[in-house]
Amino acid sequence: MVNIWYKSGSFQHGFLIFPIVIYLVWLKRKEIRNVPLNVNFLGLVAIAALSILWMLADISGVQVIQHFVFIALIPALVLSCLGYKFARKLVFPLAYLFFAVPAGEPFIYPLQQITADIVMGALKLTTIPVYREGQFIYIPAGTFQVAEACSGIRFLTATFTLSVLFVYLEYKSVKKKIIFLLLAIIIPIIANGIRAFSIVLAGHFISMEFAGGADHIIFGWQFFGAVMFLMFWIGAKWSDKKNVCKT
């Protein structure tokens, strides 16, 4: 799992999950300090069931299930060794561990198509002649491919992972949480489409070398960082927990 975090740019946020969870548990230190500890046999049953599932996933070679089971074993161990009351206090930190699982490949192709659709829709509003064939977009200056790296899966996973943490720390209202998480899905997808469109424009008006070189990757992360900063800055204006940093 760590090897995938290291090699895949889409899941490098996995390195941050365990430190974040440790910090979240530390925030709960006063609540869990006096919680009575006991053995929970339901947790032991869960560990046995998860172990069997892991073995079956190992035999069948389904690595993603092994990863999910490995993470699920941590809450099961907390429940079995420390008890239900203790585990209930740490529901969110334990659930947040699942963001460490490198999963999301099924979303790459649909995101590629959405990005290509946004680029095509935007180009049709200009005077640039354009033709699309699958994931390839043709303009007079050259050919552009909406590859896996251009799907926006990196932006989406990173934004949504941080957004879940943000709503937990900042909002009490369920309505606000739902709205922000929906925006955390919609905004990165639209922003990625705009980013791709701007790169095509750069290739048409400036140079194809910029559009196909390392510069467009740097621009992509800068653009993504600006969008994330703006989204969280605006979201903080409606925070329900103004004193969260003092807890």
Give 229-246 pLDDT, tens digit per residue. 999 999 998 888 754 444
Lowest mean pLDDT among 52-56, 189-193, 207-211: 207-211
Predicted TM-score (pTM) of this structure: 0.84
Lowest mean pLDDT among 63-72, 149-158, 178-187, 230-239: 149-158
Is 75 or 245 the better-scoring residue by pLDDT? 75
Q: Which long-range contacts (CB under 8 A, 24 or more apart) does 24-27 make?
A: 24/90, 24/92, 24/93, 24/96, 25/90, 25/93, 27/247
Backbone conformation region of residue 142, classed left if phi is above 0, alpha if psi is from -120 to 50, else beta: left
Q: Give the pLDDT score at 174.
A: 92
Alpha-carbon separation of residue 24 from 51, 73, 99, 173, 245 (angstroms): 27, 19, 14, 19, 12
Q: What is the mean pLDDT of residues 28-56?
A: 93
Check whether 211 has a pLDDT greater than 60. Answer: no
At residue 212 the predicted structure's pLDDT band, cuts being 50, 70 and 90, is low
Buried b (16+ CB within 10 A) or exposed e, 216-234: beebbeebbeebbeebbee
Alpha-carbon separation of residue 187 from 46, 118, 152, 160 (angstroms): 38, 13, 11, 10
- Best CA proximity match to 75, nearest among 52, 92, 57: 92
Let me know how many helices (H) and strands (E) the chain has, helices first: 12, 3
At residue 148 the predicted structure's pLDDT band, cuts being 50, 70 and 90, is confident
Lowest mean pLDDT among 11-20, 75-84, 121-130, 145-154: 145-154
